Amino acid sequence: MTVDVDDVLDIAVGVLVDAEGRLLIAQRRPDTPGAGFWEFPGGKREDGEAIFDCLGRELAEEIGVTDLRGAPLIRFAHDRGPRPVRLHVWRIDGWTGEPGGREGQTVRWIARDALDEVELLPATDVILAALALPRRYLITPRLSGADRKAWFGALEEALGRGTRLLRLRDPDLSDARYARLAEVVVEQAHRHGAAVLLDRDADMVETVGADGLHWSAERIAAARRRPLPRERWFAASAHDARELDAAIAVDADFATVSPVAVTASHPKAGPLGWPGFESQRDDRALPVYALGGLEVADESDALAHNAQGIAAIRGLWPGAADA
């Protein structure tokens, strides 16, 4: 679902992250909409103002910091508050000055695992998901039919290179064989601090200690509700705006949209291209990975088109691009 662009208010938001990984939040004053709720600092864009200029002005006025250093995190719209807004969110890792409430508001540094202690503004969960997710999402090739030693060697190499989120995909395996594989992959990934999403069901996630589920667009369409608690990731595959809306309806944390480019696995599928990806993704309120025929070199294009990053099999699996 998209928000009426004729009535949307553009807001620049800064997520300040300190050297300890804590986040700066501010409490809305009693005389403001959403009084008492906590939020990441920012404010309304003035006519003709660039978003980063708006963010710099607002953070200087609100919390007294200047010389911001950071990067865009996510752009999305929602109507969960008193009026529709489009949030342009930046992650800020450097600044000049000591943050403090310059307009009478309370500010505090808080660890991410302590955020449930405060009442956050609606839709902050979307920002936190984007903040927690990496820029690259590995989808494993099938183990069935492959050399087992080489497959696990490639997985170990990918994890050693910094892969922190992966989807274990092998539709050819029975549930029993897939579960046995998942147990091994989860143990291997967790040693590197990486999260593993499965393709099957919530019971298997709990049984093998995985970190979430990733369901197909067809399975998402048939779902009535989110199958996992918020502590686990729940992801969705999508190919267009309608399927993204279905993912949002069942409270998915993030999605993939494909194919952006021509793929080896589906060479006849018409690619979206970057304009098509951004059109389907639009300003929907969840992080979205670009998928299909992409590799690490495409990551900057993905970020420029409001993607969380890239998802890939061949483009992220060691040795696959040379196969």
Report the chain's mean pLDDT, rounded to a whole number: 94
4/199 Cα distance (integer angstroms): 34
315/323 Cα distance (integer angstroms): 11
Answer whether residue 6 shows pLDDT above 80.
Answer: no
- Over residues 307-316, the mean pLDDT reads 97
What totals of helices (H) and strands (E) does the chain contain, helices first?
A: 9, 15
Alpha helices, H only, the chain: 51-63, 124-132, 148-160, 175-191, 202-208, 217-222, 241-249, 273-281, 299-304
Of 260, 311, 315, which is closest to residue 289 (Cα–Cα)? 311
CB-CB neighbours of 4 under 10 Å: 9
Q: For 155, what's the count of Cα atoms within 13 Å in the CB-facing half-sphere?
A: 31
- Over residues 258-280, the mean pLDDT reads 87
Q: How far is CA 254 from the centre of its chain?
A: 5
Retrieve residue 311's tokens. 């998802």
In this prediction, residue 34 has a pLDDT band, given cuts at 50, 70 and 90, of: confident
Q: Confirm if 287 and 306 have CB atoms less than 8 A apart.
A: no
Q: What pLDDT is recorded for position 4?
A: 56
Answer whether residue 260 shows pLDDT above 80.
Answer: yes
Of the candidate ranges 129-138, 255-264, 305-314, the one whose mean pLDDT is the lowest:
255-264
298/277 Cα distance (integer angstroms): 13
96/112 Cα distance (integer angstroms): 23
Task: Output the CA torsion sign for 214, 217, 219, 225.
Answer: positive
Phi, psi of 41 (to 5 degrees): -70, 155
- Over residues 21-32, the mean pLDDT reads 93
Q: What pLDDT is recorded for position 310?
A: 98
- Over residues 304-317, the mean pLDDT reads 97
Domain 136-322: CATH architecture, name and number where available: Alpha-Beta Barrel (3.20)
Beta bridge pairs of residue 198: 213
Q: What pLDDT is recorded for position 320?
A: 75
Answer whether residue 5 shows pLDDT above 80.
Answer: no
Pick the CATH number of 9-124 from 3.30.1360.40, 3.20.20.140, 3.90.79.10, 1.10.15.40: 3.90.79.10
Answer whether residue 124 shows pLDDT above 50.
Answer: yes
Retrieve residue 217's tokens. 């667009």
CB contact burial 288-302 (16+ within 10 A = b; e otherwise): bbbbbbbeeebbeeb
Q: Confirm if 27 and 38 have CB atoms less than 8 A apart.
A: yes
Q: What is the pLDDT of residues 209-241, one digit of tens each?
A: 999 999 999 999 999 999 999 999 999 999 999
52/37 Cα distance (integer angstroms): 24
For the chain, the straight-line distance linking the first and the last C-alpha, in angstroms and rounded, comes to 40
Answer whether residue 262 shows pLDDT above 90.
Answer: no
Proportion of the chain above pLDDT 90, given as a percent:
89
SS3 state at 56: helix
In this prediction, residue 82 has a pLDDT band, given cuts at 50, 70 and 90, of: confident
Answer whether residue 323 shows pLDDT above 70.
Answer: no
Q: What pLDDT is recorded for position 293?
A: 95
Answer whether residue 321 shows pLDDT above 70.
Answer: no
Q: What pLDDT is recorded for position 174?
A: 96
Answer whether residue 268 shows pLDDT above 80.
Answer: no
What are the extents of the domains in the chain? Answer: 9-124, 136-322
Q: What pLDDT is recorded for position 32?
A: 83
pTM as predicted: 0.94
